[in-house]
Amino acid sequence: MDLGARARDWSEIQERMLVPLYEAVYERLEVGPAARLLGLGCGSGLALLMAASRGAAVTGVDDSRERLALARERLLPEAWSTRGRAGARLVDGALGEVADAGAPAYTVVTALEPIGCLAGDSEGLGELLAAAVPLAARGAPVVLAGWGPPERCATSAVLRVATKLADPLRNTGSWRPALRDDLEEVAQRAGLRTDGSGRVACPFGYAGVDSAVRGLLSTGLFDAAISATDQAQVDKEVAEALHPYQRQDGTVWMPNVFRYLIARVP
């Protein structure tokens, strides 16, 4: 598995599908120059870039060095005009480096990589939140994102390939349908109080089937299937599952709904 190529596919193909989600969250929270935002699982940095363009000071954390390298390309100080947006920080993995003594508390914490379609993904997010909450100001919003109901997500039909091909003896790592209270359960375990939620349409649109396969595999949702079979088999079956969503011009279009939860630091 070429992790560098996969990170590039995420950055160039898949990540932009979530732009409506990022925009909806930032609008609702009125993210602007007064915000100090901590992005958990920041990926290749598109959500951070959008927050920084609104004037926020941003810090991103991700455990994928390949994705983080692409985020650095996007957020290098040299890439900015002289408008005070060059203060972005990017941290590989652990949150220890973020906890600077004497630094102001974060006013917004986001975890915008959607959970709820991968068995065990909420546990990992819960651990990350437990480390992040002490760094945030009292009452600060913490935003979690998840997949919407399967019946509202056309991509769910394609993601079922991951379950079909994955090793049935594994109890983590394979796709499962999102559950209604996934986000609330994570917030509750982290000691946060819920304070509203929303749904956002995030259609997945691709130039063709090949682009769609690369984009979807970059999410990591098919990793267990690849381990249980092989890359070629997964590519073939995902491509076949995409055919109902291919339009006459060859493009692929799948309507989806994503959900976000706003919780507060006690």
Question: What does the pLDDT look like over 160-219, one tens digit per residue?
Answer: 888 888 765 455 556 676 677 889 999 999 999 999 999 999 999 999 999 999 999 999
- Is residue 128's pLDDT more than 90? no
Reference 177, options 139, 150, 140, 217; nearest CA is 150
Domain boundaries, the chain: 3-151+175-204+256-264
**pLDDT beyond 80 at 56:** yes
Q: Each residue of 62-106: pLDDT tens digit? A: 999 999 999 999 987 565 544 434 578 898 877 766 767 567 899
d(CA 97, CA 111): 18
Q: Is the pLDDT of residue 8 over 80?
A: yes
Overall CATH class of domain 3-151+175-204+256-264: alpha beta
Only one residue has tokens 């991968």, namely: 118
Kindly indicate the confidence band of residue 27, based on its pLDDT and cuts at 50, 70 and 90: very high
Q: Angle of helix 155-165 relative to helix 231-242, nearest 10 degrees?
A: 150
* Residue 185 phi, psi (nearest 5): -65, -40
Comparison of pLDDT for 247 and 127, the residue scoring more: 247
What DSSP character marks residue 15? Answer: G
Asked whether the beta carbons of 14 and 254 are under 8 A apart, the reply is no
pLDDT of residue 164: 83
Distance of CA 164 to the CA centre of its chain: 24
- The answer to which of 1-5, 16-20, 199-203 has the lowest mean pLDDT is 1-5
Phi, psi of 180 (to 5 degrees): -60, -40
Residue among 7, 6, 11, 39 nearest 25 (CA): 39
Lowest mean pLDDT among 57-61, 127-131, 234-238: 127-131
Exposure letters 73-94 (e unless 16+ CB within 10 A, then b): ebbeeeeeeeeebeebebbeee
Separation of alpha carbons 63 and 65, rounded Å:
6
Indicate the average pLDDT of the chain.
Answer: 89
- Tell me whether strands 57-62 and 36-40 are parallel, antiparallel or unpaired: parallel
Q: Which residues have CB under 8 Å from 179's CB, separation 6+?
A: 116
Q: Which of 45-49, 56-60, 94-98 has the lowest mean pLDDT?
A: 94-98
Backbone angles phi, psi at 136, to 5 degrees: -100, 155
Q: Would the pLDDT of 21 be above 90?
A: yes
Locate tokens 């939140």: which residue? 129
Query: Which pLDDT value is given to residue 86?
Result: 52
State residue 127's pLDDT score: 84
Place of tokens 């993904």: 121
Residue 156 has pLDDT above 70, yes or no: yes
133-158 average pLDDT score: 94
Distance (Å, rounded) from C-alpha 239 to C-alpha 246? 10
Averaged pLDDT, 12-27: 98
Alpha helices (runs of H) in 190-257, residue ranges in sequence order:
209-217, 223-228, 231-242
- Can you tell me the distance from the alpha carbon of 186 to that of 220, in angstroms, rounded to the nearest whole number? 20
Q: Over range 129-137, report the average pLDDT.
A: 92
pLDDT, average across residues 57-61: 94
Element (H, E) at 36: strand 36-40
**Which run of H or E residues covers position 113?**
strand 108-115
> What is the H or E stretch that residue 21 is in?
helix 19-29
Distance (Å, rounded) from C-alpha 85 to C-alpha 107? 17
